[in-house]
Structure 1
């Protein structure tokens, strides 16, 4: 449905989220039909890149947390907190990477 031709659609309002999702799905399908499926090597490369995207912030959080724990004699307080923060950041970055076409 074209929002420009729909009499119920207010031109000042953005298109509905469903319209946006449908348009995105159509574009991705057209890209897939044009380029075909990714090869096994490309899929393995993406898996590796996603792994490093998650692991790198997690390891940085662990090392920074261990350094702060030694500096302040805090046990595992900073290590656990920065481990969780690094893991959350890595997962968010991986999600953003997967969400790209």
Structure 2
């Protein structure tokens, strides 16, 4: 019984060592991320929201000049662009999250 217990503990210890060694090797293979990488991700998310919002506002302003109505096309298309931009940012964050989860699963 004691021999079996020792073998189980030894297997657990070996598995822990293998896992840690694998993580270290994987970390050495990957490029290190610096602060600029994080800023670029913020920039990607920011621009993915800002561009559709500004395009929506520009289209709305053009429609307000071309066909004036009681409703504001500028506000309508501004909100539509903002909504589209938020979905776009959500999509990009989902892709990044999948990559992070894949990296964790590889460990």
Superposed pair shares fold, TM > 0.5: yes
Mapped partners of 1:54, 1:77: distance in 2? 21
Alpha-carbon displacement from aligned partner over 1:1-56 (angstroms, at most 9, x marks no partner): xxxxxxxxxxxxxxxxxxxxxxxxxxxxx8xx643763211000111111111000
TM-score by length of 1: 0.61
Q: Which runs of 5+ in 2 are unaligned?
A: 1-22, 100-107
- RMSD value, Cα: 2.0
Answer 1 or 2: higher relative contact order, Cα 8 Å, separation at least 6: 2
Query: What number of residue pairs does the alignment pair up?
Result: 70
Q: Which has the larger radius of gyration?
A: 2
Q: Which runs of 5+ in 1 are unaligned?
A: 1-29
- 4+ runs deviating over 2 angstroms: 33-38
TM-score by length of 2: 0.58
